[in-house]
Amino acid sequence: MLGNTFGRMFRVSACGESYGDALVAIIDGCPAGLEISDEYVQKELDARRPGTSPLDSPRKETDQVHIFAGMRDGFTTGAPLGLIIYNVDRHDIHVKQYFDVKDMVRPGHAEYTYMIKYGKYADWCGAGRASGRETCMRVAAGAVAKKILEQQGIKVLGYVKECMGISARKLTFEDIEKNYRANMINCPDDEAAKKMIDRVLEIKDEGDTAGGIVEVIARGVPAGLGEPVFDKLNATIAHGLMSIGAVKGVEFGAGFAVGSMKGSECNDIPYVGDDGKVHFRTNRAGGIEGGISNGEEIVVRVAVKPTATISIDQDTVNMAKMENTKLEAITRRDPTITARLVAVAESMVRITLLDHLMMWRGYDSVQTFEHPW
């Protein structure tokens, strides 16, 4: 299996499956002298941990992280940083539930494509590496990136913007920060959050699941991050976000709305501010132009699909017998993944921004021209 490493200078490699012994992340490029602890990383992991609300999977994973390499006396040494989380809630009854349907294509899951790629050796238990369980190592690595970005004055916050057609009001960065993670749906608009929660619980009672939209905003990102062609900042952020299994769409700034705009409506008009720097009167570009950050807030949204496992019988195929059949889903699931995905989306944005920041600082340090401003 390829593609388990993300980044160029801040490189995150991960391994582990839904019902394996443990999940591990190795970070190359973590600078020496960073003060960090298990407790700091744990705070981020607790934001995506299952079994904490009626909107989560009842799976009781503690997600207790331990930094087992690259540390000495509370500080990073410059060596690869190793983080591990042991799976604890993987009882025989749950393994049997997966074994009983291991030959069936569960609609919305990866059984068929994994069978095509890996044959009879594909991990059938809890979706293996295709499970959302693997995202806890993204969050662990993202916590390390968060610590470094904070020292650079960069903040990244995410929230649930919409769920099942119920939208939060227009929120500023300050609004989000003030009411950050204040409720189980992770929506800073309390009124909208209550409606979202009530709707998701109704859908849960129907045996179904709910999708939503998560928005992530990065403030304090300096102008100049990103490369103009294949490695545009928006392209690599999109890569990181689209690598999350439940994400089916990404948009920046005004997003798909630009398709119905005129150029005069879409363009962000620049001006020189009181600080003597260039700013923009609007941010329809989402803080990125020509693939490079322009100093405004980076605004990105992702469409999160409903949890694929539902409690409603569905038509499917038995791959071993090549017969049409029925699937009765009885395994554990989240009524909506949207709330827990916020921490994962934040992490992928943080990892990407830090990677680009490290590349830009290295490149810029050897340039010979002087900026005119």
- Cβ contacts of 161 within 8 Å, gap of 6 or more: 167, 168, 187, 212, 213, 214, 215, 301
**DSSP for residue 303:** E
Q: Which two tokens stand for residue 261?
A: 């705009």
Name, of 41-55, 83-97, 268-282, 331-345, the range with top average pLDDT.
268-282
Mean pLDDT of the 176-203 span: 96
Q: Pick 52 or 244 by higher pLDDT.
A: 244
In the chain, where do the E strands start and end?
5-6, 11-15, 22-28, 65-69, 71-72, 75-76, 81-86, 155-163, 166-167, 212-219, 247-252, 270-272, 278-280, 288-289, 292-293, 298-304, 314-318, 323-327
pLDDT recorded at residue 52: 74
In angstroms, the CA 356 to CA 227 distance is 9
- Cβ contacts of 218 within 8 Å, gap of 6 or more: 154, 155, 156, 287, 297, 298, 349, 353
Q: pLDDT tens for residues 230-284?
A: 999 999 999 999 999 999 999 999 999 999 999 999 999 999 999 999 999 999 9
Q: Check whether 1 has a pLDDT greater than 90.
A: no
Full-model pTM:
0.94
Length, in residues, of the chain? 373
Q: Pick 89 or 86 by higher pLDDT.
A: 86
Write phi, then psi, for 41 (nearest 5 degrees).
Answer: -65, -35
Q: Which two tokens stand for residue 18?
A: 């839904």
pLDDT recorded at residue 127: 81
Q: pLDDT tens for residues 352-372?
A: 999 999 999 988 888 877 766
- The top-level CATH class assigned to 5-364 is alpha beta
Position 373 confidence tier, pLDDT thresholds 50, 70, 90: low
Write the CA distances from 226 to 165, 189, 234, 357, integer angstroms: 33, 32, 8, 8
